[in-house]
Amino acid sequence: MSGHSTYEPKWAAARWMDQRLPIVRMGADFIMMPTPRNLNYWWTFGGILLLCLVIQIVTGVILGMHYVAHVDHAFDSVQRIRRDVPYGWLMQSTHAVGASMFFLAVYMHMFRGLYYGSYKAPREVLWIIGCLIYLVMMATAFLGYTLPWGQMSFWGATVITGFFGAVPVVGESLQQWLLGGYAVDNATLNRFYSLHYLLPFIIAALSGLHVWALHVTGSSNPIGVSNKVKTDTLPFHPYFTVKDMFAVAVFLMIFAFFLFYLPDALGHADNYIKADPLKTPPHIVPEWYFLPFYAILRAVPDKLAGILLMIGAIAVLFVLPWLDTSKVRSMRFRPIARWFFFIFVFFCFILGWCGAETPDDEAFLGLSFYRLSQISTLYYFAYFLVILPILGLIEDPKERPASITQSILDYGDKPEPEKVLAPAE
């Protein structure tokens, strides 16, 4: 939150600098942001995501020193990085596993936002910037997956760029313009490499805006009641820097487990076969983090409708602040909505399962994955377009604490906090 500056330069040199470029003051004020004291561990994913971005950029720039973006050499150059380049195996695996970890963290971050109503006023712009970051992340991940030039790289790129061919009238021209040819080929690989290098810096810039917007409105919190009195908050540093660091350590343990024990578990074996434009793998699947959207794409028999649904699944997130009519932010106080939310999370996993399987196969009890993905897609959209808009009008929320301080009164033997007179929102 933009408030009074508490920074006081201690040395003459610091004072000299402060009068010319107060960059240290800016950083100091930034990190001392008053933060709700009741934040739980779901609020640590912001810091974890920042770390993920840094890891991807650092390892990515290093991989760029050894990678060759040419259809004849790309596949071999990645194998060379894994086998011959000093510590190349570590850099390549970190980058590949890191992409999955990045998405794992971003999904936790997004579900947190959905459950605790972090998208509601006054945080709409903060939420929309987050949606934009997610969109650019997906583009970056897709472009990056093409670069190793394996079978999944090639056919994934063919299928995804095929979406643009479904645009009425100009589709084919648009697709060939994107590919730089009649099909995915060297021109495509080159431009994908160029854009894959560019987009992370766009993500970094958007993250800057995201954090800026966060500092204007302040963090939301598990009870969704705004800060009212001084005892509601603690300075971000050291209280939440330390808490974030603990979460980062746990996260890095999971990261390290995959990195050192199962580096290929999150990828697909077919990507160890060099790209062959004459042969399609029997079963094309995207990376796990795209599976739910892939299931939505396949849930309708019409090509254009499938693409529009898939785009809609992400577009609906952008307008969520205006779809959810409830003034109550946290689902802790929404006894009905929270169950619909848990079902929503459940169906997201079901969609992921459907995306990984063949549509015509049986899921269970004679139900095909095709039908299952249709049911799940229906719920996905109903949650945003029907359930949240209607529920906000008819649901009777539980009574909320008057303040964050009030909400933690019962907790242990803490001294009595100052009295709160402000009513609940």
Partner 1 sequence: MAETGLIHHDDIVDDGKRDFIFLAAGAAGALGAASIVWPLLAQMGKAADTLALGSIDIDVGKIGEGEQLKVLWRGAPVFVRHRTAAEIAEAEDVNIDILPDPATDDSRLVPGPDGNLKPQYLVMVGVCTHFGCVPVGEAGDYDGWYCPCHGSHYDTSGRIRKGPAPRNLVVPPYAYTSDTVIKVG
Q: Which residues bind partner 1 (CB under 8 A)?
A: 155, 158-159, 161-163, 165, 176-178, 180-185, 187, 191, 277-284, 298, 300-304, 306, 358-360
Cβ closer to partner 1: 165 or 417? 165
Q: How far is the CB of 354 from partner 1 (least distance, A)?
A: 13
Q: How far is the CB of 281 from partner 1 (least distance, A)?
A: 8
> Measured on CA atoms in the order 151, 152, 157, 158, is the torsion positive or negative?
positive
Cβ closer to partner 1: 57 or 174? 174
Q: Distance between CA 386 and CA 337 in Å, rounded? A: 12
**Can you say whether residue 361 is alpha, beta or left, with left for phi > 0 and alpha for psi between -120 and 50 degrees?**
beta
Q: How far is the CB of 305 from partner 1 (least distance, A)?
A: 9
Identified catalytic residue from 244, 324, 326, 330? 244
Q: How far is the CB of 378 from partner 1 (least distance, A)?
A: 18
Q: Distance between CA 131 and CA 128 in Å, rounded? A: 5
Q: How far is the CB of 299 from partner 1 (least distance, A)?
A: 10
Q: Distance between CA 213 and CA 1 in Å, rounded? A: 9
Cβ closer to partner 1: 184 or 350? 184
Q: What are the phi and psi torsion angles at 326 (to 5°)?
A: -75, 140
Based on the residue annotation, tell me whether 219 is a catalytic residue of this protein. yes
**3-state SS class at 175:** helix
Tokens 């077919």 belong to 270
Exposure string for 30-51, b = 16+ CB within 10 A, e = fewer:
eebbbbbbbbeebbbbbbbbbb
Cβ closer to partner 1: 176 or 217? 176
Q: How far is the CB of 306 from partner 1 (least distance, A)?
A: 7
Q: How far is the CB of 360 from partner 1 (least distance, A)?
A: 6
Cβ closer to partner 1: 34 or 359? 359
Among the listed residues 381, 396, 256, the one whose alpha carbon sits nearest the alpha carbon of residue 323: 381
Among the listed residues 108, 133, 43, 125, the one whose alpha carbon sits nearest the alpha carbon of residue 319: 125
Based on the residue annotation, tell me whether 287 is a catalytic residue of this protein. yes
Cβ closer to partner 1: 7 or 163? 163
Identified catalytic residue from 77, 220, 232, 287? 287
CB distance 163 to 289 below 8 Å: no
Tokens 């063919």 belong to 158
Q: Distance between CA 236 and CA 30 in Å, rounded? A: 9
Cβ closer to partner 1: 313 or 387? 313
Both tokens assigned to 12: 């003459």
Identified catalytic residue from 120, 196, 243, 268? 243
Q: What are the phi and psi torsion angles at 233 (to 5°)?
A: -120, 160
Q: What are the phi and psi torsion angles at 397 (to 5°)?
A: -70, 155
Identified catalytic residue from 93, 100, 118, 219? 219
The burial of 140, by beta-carbon neighbours within 10 Å (0-12 exposed, 13-18 middle, 19 or more buried), is given as buried
What is the helix (H) or strand (E) element at residue 413, kind and residue range?
none
What is the helix (H) or strand (E) element at residue 241, kind and residue range?
helix 236-261
List, by residue number, the catalytic residues: 215, 219, 243-244, 287
